[in-house]
Homo-oligomer: A and B are copies of this chain.
Amino acid sequence: MKQPVCVLGLGLIGGSVLRAAQRAGRTVWGYQRSAGAAATARAAGFDASTDLPSVLGRAADAGALIVIAVPMPAVPAMLAAVKQYAPDCPLTDVVSVKRPVRQVVSEYGLLARYVGGHPMAGTADSGWGAADPDLFRDAAWVITADDGCEPAVWRAAAQLALDCGATVVPAGSGDHDEAVARISHLPHVLAEALAIAGADGGELALGLAAGSFRDGVRVAGTSPDLVRAMCEANSAALSAVLDETIAIVTAARDSLRAGQSLHALTAAGHTSYGKYARRLRSEITEPRLGEPGWAARLRAAAREGGVITQLPPPASS
């Protein structure tokens, strides 16, 4: 029988995990703080409750995989409850940063049963009402491969991601946070800056805006609190990437002002775009989970574009 799944937080991501895992034939239930959203989920045929101790007690009895799916500020409260009611269950999460979550998990003494996760999927909408069992289809889902993690927990978290239709990327927590600073948090900061610079041009500028502006500002339509929460939780990695970006834009500005060519910017930008358009993806076939150095080898493979679309059977001893 497949391992049951207990989801804490039934917003867009947690709700989508609940729906996708149930469709994959897993026994699933969840906790939702809001009584209204829990009732809506129950009315849709899902097992949702506002009683956190009861939800976690059931996870402890069933040996379920627990998935923390609340925003970063609410993570400590969830960990405190897990420690009290289900400290031996395998534990993962779907929060958008990984080092900060890992740090808090460590403070609660739950690191031995934890492996981090982050599905690279979302929509402009939020909440249970936007939850979609197809949200993760063909998306990348990072399952963190840090030294000392438990192979059985890693396998459990990775299997959930695969059951939800995603592709597993076994990145280290630090590698993850640096990567998402570049490809998720930086685009949000630049979209906000572009929106501000555009609107500062008044109605004339906004009325002349066409495709390049429309695409460049799209994610500035995201809830400002959500953008803040993502970016502030990853401040170290993001501020370093902002340093790089400021240097690139400043060099372009200086070239223009000196009457020189923008060739350096446009050539590098176009080459980089080509790397993105033709990015590599290869199936990771080794090591076996639990082999000496397995986590470091997975991390190294992920840095080269390696992914996992199917788990090998557990090693027999």
Contacts and interface: CB of A to CB of B under 8 A. Distances in A.
Interface of A: 120-122, 139-140, 142, 169, 171, 175-176, 178-180, 182-184, 186-213, 215-225, 227-228, 231-232, 235, 238-239, 241-246, 248-250, 252-253, 256-257, 259, 261-263, 265-273, 275-277, 279-281, 302-305, 307
Nearest to A277: B221
A224 B252 CA distance: 14
Given A183-B210, A193-B248, 12 more contacts: A183-B198, A183-B206, A183-B212, A186-B198, A191-B269, A197-B244, A197-B248, A199-B272, A216-B219, A221-B273, A231-B256, A243-B253
A179 B201 contact: yes
A79 to B, nearest CB: 22
Nearest to A219: B212
Contacts of A279: 203, 206-207, 209
A312 to B, nearest CB: 21
A194 B199 contact: no
A262 B212 contact: no
Given A208-B120, A262-B228, A279-B207, A269 B196 contact: yes
A197 B182 contact: yes
A202 B302 CA distance: 10
B210 A249 contact: no
Contacts of A280: 203, 207
Contacts of A277: 221
A183 B196 contact: no
B246 A261 contact: no
A207 to B, nearest CB: 5
A204 B261 contact: no
Contacts of A231: 256, 262, 266
Contact of A249 (B189, B273, B307): B189
